Homo-oligomer: A and B are copies of this chain.
Amino acid sequence: MVGIKDVARRAGVSVGTVSNVINRPELVSQETRDRVHAVINQLGYVRSESARQLRAGHSRIMALLVLDMGNPFFVDVARGAESAAREAGLGVMVCNSGQSVSEEATYLSMFTEQRVRGVLVTPADATGANLDRLRQQKVPFVLVDRVAAGSEECSVSVDDTIGGALAGRHLVGAGHRTIAYISGPPHLQQVKDRREGLLQALGEAGLGPEALLEIPAQRLDVAAGRDAASRLLGLARRPTAVFCANDLLALGVLQVVYAAGIAVPADLAIVGYDDIEFAAAAVVPLTSVRQPAAEMGRMAAELLLEETGPDAAEHRHQHAVLLPELVVRGSSLPGR
C-alpha cells in the first residue's frame, strides 16, 4: 500500500513536507503544495488513521453504546450524536448492548483498546462495575438518558417525573379517575420516575394512589405491551385510561385492546412515552410524551467533545436535564 514515503520520494520532498501539505498547508509554498497534491492524486494515497492515532495517543472515534437498537428512540439518539460528532470531524461507532451486562463489558473494553475519544453510554449494568472500569482507565464518558450520581462525569437526561406528570394531568383533565400504568423492568429509574409523575398529577387533582393501577411489564417492547394489555382486560374494575412507560408497550396495548373491540379513546384512552415515529403512524395515532432524543444524543456528544477538547481544563462536569413535551393525538382525545 502506498504510504507517505512513496509520495515524498515521487514528489522529491521529505516526508515531513508531505505531512505539512496535508495538515498545515500554510507552512508550505504554493508550488510544493501543488506538486505534492498532484502526486497524492496520482498515486491514490490515503493516509493511515492508525498511524495518526498511534502518534496522537487517541483515535478520532466516539463510541455510543445503547440498550436496544430495535427501539427507534435510540436510533434518534444515535442520529443526534452522529451529527454532532461529524461536525467535529469524528466518527461514531454505534453498538448495542441489548441490556446485557456482559455484552456491555465486552464493548467497553473494545472501546478502551481502540483508545476511542470517549464513550456515550446508557448503562445496562446497574451495579456500576462496568463504568468503574471505564473511570479507572480514564476513558471519558457521558451518561445518556441517566443522571450521573456524582460529579465525576457528565450526563444528559430527560426529566421523567415531569413527563409522567404531563401525561397524568392530561388524562385527569380529560376526566379520567382511574388510570392504569403499564410499567417496565422495576429497576429502571425511568420507569419509576414516570410513575412518580403520574402519581403527582393524580395528587394535584385530589386523587390518591388508589386511582393508579400498576401493571408490570417484563420488558419495554411490543410483546410485553400485548401481554400487559391482556392482563388489563381481565381486570374486574377496568380503568378508563392507560399510561404506558414507552411507546412500544403502548403499541402492543393498542393492538390487543382494539382486537377486543374496545374503542380508543372512547372506551379507553392510551398515552405512550418517547414519541417514536411509529406512535404517530399507528392507526389510532398515539398521544405520547415526546423525548428530545436527537437533542439528547447531540448534547451528549457535545459534552464529550468539550470534555476531551482543547479547553478540557476549564470543563466542569454537567448534568443536563431536558424537558419532555406532551404530544396529544387521537388515542386520548376526548372529542371523539
> Would you call A115 and B49 a contact (CB within 8 A)?
yes
Q: Per-residue CB proximity of A78-100 to B under 8 Å, as 1/0?
A: 11001000000001111110000
Q: In whole angstroms, what is the CA distance A281 to B70 when docked? A: 13
Q: Quick check: is A167 within 8 A (CB to CB) of the other chain?
A: no
Number of copies: 2
Chain B: minimal CB distance from A211 (Å):
28
- Nearest CB in chain B to that of A116: its residue: B49
- For chain A, residues 134 to 186, give those with C-beta under 8 angstroms from any C-beta of chain B: 136-138
Q: Per-residue CB proximity of A103-145 to B under 8 Å, as 1/0?
A: 0000001101111000000000000000000001110000000
- Nearest CB in chain B to that of A285: its residue: B255
Q: In whole angstroms, what is the CA distance A282 to B255 when docked? A: 6
Chain B: minimal CB distance from A30 (Å):
25
> Would you call A96 and B79 a contact (CB within 8 A)?
yes
Q: Quick check: is A222 within 8 A (CB to CB) of the other chain?
A: yes
Name the B residues within 8 Å of A61 (CB-CB): 93
> Would you call A252 and B277 a contact (CB within 8 A)?
no
Name the B residues within 8 Å of A281 (CB-CB): 222, 251-252, 255, 278
Best-buried of A44, A48, A59, A254 by chain B (most CB within 10 Å): A48
Q: Quick check: is A51 within 8 A (CB to CB) of the other chain?
A: yes
Which residue of B49, B93, B115, B282 is within 8 Å of A91 (Cβ)? Answer: B93
> Would you call B94 and A94 a contact (CB within 8 A)?
yes
Say whether, besides A96-B79, A251-B278, A54 and B50 are in contact (CB < 8 Å). Answer: yes
Q: Quick check: is A69 within 8 A (CB to CB) of the other chain?
A: yes
Chain B: minimal CB distance from A223 (Å):
9
Q: In whole angstroms, what is the CA distance A303 to B262 when docked? A: 50
Which residue of B78, B251, B254, B282 is within 8 Å of A69 (Cβ)? Answer: B78
> Would you call A59 and B69 a contact (CB within 8 A)?
no
- Nearest CB in chain B to that of A282: its residue: B283
Name the B residues within 8 Å of A27 (CB-CB): none
Name the B residues within 8 Å of A72 (CB-CB): 70, 72
Beyond A69-B78, A79-B96, A94-B94, 15 additional pairs, beta carbon < 8 A: A46-B109, A46-B113, A47-B113, A49-B50, A49-B114, A69-B79, A70-B75, A82-B95, A91-B93, A93-B93, A93-B94, A222-B281, A255-B285, A278-B278, A282-B283
18 CB < 8 A contacts A-B: A44-B136, A44-B137, A50-B51, A50-B114, A51-B54, A54-B54, A61-B93, A70-B72, A70-B75, A72-B72, A82-B96, A92-B95, A94-B94, A251-B281, A255-B281, A258-B283, A282-B282, A283-B283
Interface residues of A (CB under 8 A from B): 1, 44, 46-51, 53-54, 57, 59, 61, 69-70, 72, 75, 78-79, 82, 91-96, 109-110, 112-115, 136-138, 222, 251-252, 254-255, 258-259, 277-278, 280-285
The 7 closest A-B pairs by CB, nearest first: A50-B53, A283-B283, A50-B54, A222-B281, A49-B113, A258-B283, A50-B50
